[in-house]
Amino acid sequence: MAYNLLKGKKGIIFGALDSNSIAWKVAERAYEEGAIFTLTNAPVAMRMGEIQKLAEKTNAHIIPADATVLDDLEKLFIQSMEILGGPIDFVLHSIGMSVNVRKGRPYTDLNYEWLTKGWDVSAVSFHKVLQTAWKLDAIAEWGSVVALTYIAAQRTFPDYNDMAENKAYLESIARSFGYHYGVRKKVRINTISQSPTRTTAGSGVKGFDAFIDYAEKMSPLGNATAEDCADYCITLFSDLTRRVTMQNLYHDGGFSSMGVSQLIMEQFGK
């Protein structure tokens, strides 16, 4: 059901790769709620995905951009404002990558060149996006920026590897830039700490299927799906959350508040 929560709003959505992507679901929901937006991803990621189908479905323009390259980001914001007819009301940062995870390198034996690449893609890119928008004055007053994160930024999940540090840094950027953008333009910046979700990127983590099952049994409401996360993003893009900023918002069915659940106790008591 649609409520026209984003009627008249303009956005940029980073990271839609295929129909399993949270960014893909957000784009679908934003379109249903009346928004217009551009879609972007790194050229190499776009060749792997099906973003053209999403663009056709949502009447969106695609602008290739590497979020780690400042020139690409500047062109992205300038072209988006030209296409959409004004400053941007919302931005979704749904980008994350660890070369160490992809190549099976353990946390105790990291390749630091790979670490730096993953850190740049997963976290520093968020600062680059915000700084570029800041310098271009590209985000409208009371705009909203959301980045996706995970509870491994606060708690230890061994197989999440160096992505834990990436997400911790991402969350810090939201708080730090959230202050400056709030004072300047009333723009709010938040992160959503999502349940483990079956996306192309998430499935690359070792033992992912087992962990999804564990999180499901730990969470009173069960794991939040990609569709659920899209709904939450829409509320943060809307005017209903105008005073929410600099927050790391857990969207995990209650997992983050749990110590142990009855289902887990019963499983280990067998």
269 pLDDT exceeds 90? no
37-61 pLDDT, tens digit per residue, is 999 999 887 777 799 999 999 999 9
4-21 pLDDT, tens digit per residue, is 999 999 999 999 999 999
Catalytic residue among 31, 160, 214, 232: 160
Catalytic residue among 31, 150, 181, 214: 150
**Average pLDDT for the chain:** 95
118 pLDDT exceeds 70? yes
Annotated binding site for NAD(+): 15, 21-22, 95, 167
pLDDT of residue 202: 60
217-227 pLDDT, tens digit per residue, is 999 999 999 99
Sign of CA dihedral 13, 15, 17, 20: negative
Q: Three-class SS of residue 231?
A: helix
Q: Is 160 a catalytic residue?
A: yes
Of the CA atoms within 13 Å of residue 215, those in its CB half-sphere come to 24
Domains of the chain with bracketed CATH = 10-268 (3.40.50.720)
Query: Is residue 270 very low, low, confident or very high in pLDDT (cuts 50, 70, 90)?
Result: low
**Entry pTM:** 0.96
- Across the beta sheet with 88-93, the strand order is 61-62, 36-40, 10-14, 88-93, 139-149, 188-194, 248-251
64-117 pLDDT, tens digit per residue, is 999 999 999 999 999 999 999 999 999 999 999 999 999 999 999 999 999 999
170 pLDDT exceeds 70? yes
Contact 90, 7 (CB under 8 A): no
Annotated binding site: 15, 21-22, 95, 167
Query: Is residue 205 very low, low, confident or very high in pLDDT (cuts 50, 70, 90)?
Result: low
